[in-house]
Structure 1
Amino acid sequence: MRILHTMLRVGDLQRSIDFYTRVMGMQLLRTTDRPEQKYSLAFVGYGDEKDGATIELTYNYGVPSYEIGTAFGHIAIAVANAAAACDAVRAAGGNVTREAGPVKGGSTVIAFVQDPDGYKIELIEAKA
């Protein structure tokens, strides 16, 4: 078994595709439009779906926003350098909500960014 994808409901599909591809450096892997069922999907990720997990962006026609809720936490992405990743996100117009630094009570360097729908993304600096 392996994790295939995480699904996020988004209020503007193209805005979310732009964020995950342009700001986060993912690739748009595939899209599906289901007008009869009134939704569209876009799968984004860092490589082929057969090799790793992806994010499924789901746009339900006519729904401009969602409440994140208190159960969902965040998506985590490994990066080589958390501070440099924050700089790149910021330069691309993204929102850094926690600058790179050690996690409380530990030495792992993390940072947080937020996507246009309010979902948090943790950037975890890979240890050498």
Structure 2
Amino acid sequence: MVGLVKTLHTAYRVSDLSASLHFYTALGYTQVGRVDLGGGASLTVLKFPEEEVVTLELVHRPDDGPVDIGTGFSHLVVQVDDLAGTVDRLLRAGLWPGPVDQPAGPYGPQTSWLSDPDGYRIELVQWPPGHPAGITAADFG
């Protein structure tokens, strides 16, 4: 029998740590800590204020050159309670979220997309009232 298994956090390699920190703190993350790896390289860990544990790690390795996301990465999803308010706040912070959309129709989730300084795509999601916090088997009938 396997013991506890769960996802802990996502790690992104970033080209410009300062620009990435501005982006992710504007999104609502807070910096929990930073580990200096030497030679200008570092690991910076972030979480949303309501979260108990770190959920995002920014890996900065300037000697590795610019980040190349390639075609294998799709996106990170961030849940918000008030998508219209979040989009407005992000616009005021100098970020460029896309328009609010309802891809599953008027009774489904609302979404908006934006990209971080390295091109990682972020999907902001506001679930409809009464929906669990995340996708469940019930979403597939």
**Pairwise TM-score range, normalised by the shorter structure:** 0.7 to 0.9
**Which residue in the other structure is 1:101 paired with?**
101
> Superposed, which structure 2 residues align to 1:48-127 within 5 Å?
51-52=52-53, 54-96=55-97, 98-104=98-104, 107-127=108-128
Aligned with 1:26 (options 25, 29, 32): 29
Q: Distance in 2 between matches of 1:95 and 1:62?
A: 29
Match in the other structure for 2:9: 5
Provide the aligned C-alpha RMSD in A. 2.0
Runs of 4+ more than 4 Å apart? none
How many equivalent pairs are there?
124
Question: Which residue of structure 1 aligns with residue 45 of structure 2?
Answer: 43
Q: Percent identity?
A: 31
**Structure with higher strand content:** 1
Amino acid at match of 1:16: S
**Between 100-109 and 72-81, the greater mean CA deviation after superposition:** 100-109
Q: What is the Cα deviation at residue 52 of structure 1?
A: 4.3
Greater RCO (Cα-Cα under 8 Å, separation 6 or more): 1
What are structure 2's unaligned runs of at least 5 residues? 130-141
Q: Which has the larger radius of gyration?
A: 2
How far has the Cα of 1:126 moved from its partner? 2.6
